[in-house]
Structure formats: structure tokens, C-alpha cells
A and B are shown apart, each in its own frame.
Chain A
Amino acid sequence: QVQLRESGPGLVKPSQTLSLTCTVSGGSISSGGYYWSWIRQSAGKGLEWIGRIYASGSTNYNPSLKSRVTISVDTSKNQFSLKLTSVIAADTAMYYCARDRMIVAGPPAFDIWGQGTVVTVSS
């Protein structure tokens, strides 16, 4: 079955760029019917959707983060990635990648999640 796994540095300095990758296994990121999302969870803000990408490269971002976020996809590696620039302490969180079921495949939902990776912003 499809599995997702996040990877990337666990510690990022303030003002620098947070970079994470999600590797999809057990299925193709190019299969139809799914977006691929990033979601974060912090004690202060709960669960927050960051944005999503389709295999074609089409993206949607949360307006609250849009100016700092880029999500990209590498279909040859079956991966998608998150970059968050100019990070501050408030960006410290558990970051999850998730499969985002499109409406053509049924009511939209995050139906598969990665295990998550903790990112701490600190000097």
C-alpha cells in the first residue's frame, strides 16, 4: 500500500530556509485522483495546512504562508518537496506530508499521512 515518509534537517536557524522532502512508496505520485499536501502541527496553532501540489506541478498554498512557501514535485523520484523561507521560531512544528484525495476519487480527505518530522527553528 502507499506509504509516505518525510526527510530533512531537524534544526534550522532563524531567517534561513526550511527544506523537506516527502518520498512516496507503494504507488506512483503521478497516479490520477490525488494531490500531495504538506501539513504542520504545533502546540500554538494546532494542525495547519501549508499547501499542495498535483503531479503536473500545479500548486495551491495557504494564504497565511504563501509568500514564503514553495512546493515542488519530482515525478522521476516519486517525491515532492517543501521549502519555507525566512523561518522564525513560530515555524517550529511537526511537519507531515499527506495524500490529498481529490473530489473525483470521492469526498476530499487526507487519507494517507507520513509519520512526520520535527523541525526546530533555533540559533
Chain B
Amino acid sequence: DIQMTQSPSSLSASIGDRVTITCRASQGISTYLNWYQQKTGKAPEILIYGASNLESGVPSRFSGSGSGTDFTLTISSLRPEDFATYYCQQSYTLPRTFGPGTKVDIK
């Protein structure tokens, strides 16, 4: 299985901050990397697919980059509704695997 790691595991930030979350795959996955946002008590929702493609309806303050083993999710200017947990997930091979998550909370 491809192991996914994320850093940091949690972070505290203020409204308007630029936030960057890193995801690393245990082997190369090209750009088969997705990012999800999960709010408390809700199902995950897709933000970014194929490493850098914004899912329809997702605000443009979210962006993704990377290829191979190293990827980043950036929120350019944090808004109150962005406080949540973010997960990366590889879709390069089966079984699909997820990172452990990064919790973004209010400073």
C-alpha cells in the first residue's frame, strides 16, 4: 500500500492568514493526489483533484501543487468557514489511501 503522511498534524491560524499543508506519498504517484475538507460532524468534501485542479464550486483561495511524492494545499487567505480538517488521498493505485489529516483551528 502507498502510505500518505501530512504535516503538520494541526495548526492554529488567524483569519486572513496564508496556510500551507504538506502531503507526502511513500512512492511516486504522479499527480494522482486529491485534497478533501471535513468539518465536524460532516462527510469529507473534495476540494482539489489531480493535485492542482479545483473542484467545481470550490473557492479560488484554495490551490494545490506538486507531483511525484510531495504535494501542498494552500489557502491564500483563511476565512472562518475554512476551519476544518484537511486530508490528502492518492488515486494512483489500489487500495486508495488517505493521509492522517491536518486540523486547522482558530488562533
The chain B residues found within 8 Å of chain A, CB to CB, are 1, 31-32, 34, 36, 42-46, 49-50, 53, 55, 87, 89, 91, 94-101
Contacts and interface: CB of A to CB of B under 8 A. Distances in A.
6 closest cross-chain pairs (CB), A and B: A107-B50, A108-B91, A113-B43, A47-B98, A49-B96, A109-B49
Contacts of A64: 95
A110 B101 CA distance: 16
Contacts, number: 62
Contacts of B46: 109-111
Contacts of B99: 46
By size class, the interface of chain A is 20 to 34
Contacts of A62: 94-95
A110 B44 contact: yes
Nearest to A114: B43
A110 B53 contact: no
25 contacts: A37-B96, A46-B98, A46-B99, A46-B101, A47-B87, A48-B98, A49-B95, A49-B97, A62-B95, A101-B49, A106-B49, A106-B50, A106-B53, A107-B34, A107-B49, A107-B50, A107-B91, A108-B49, A109-B34, A109-B50, A110-B36, A110-B46, A110-B89, A111-B55, A113-B43
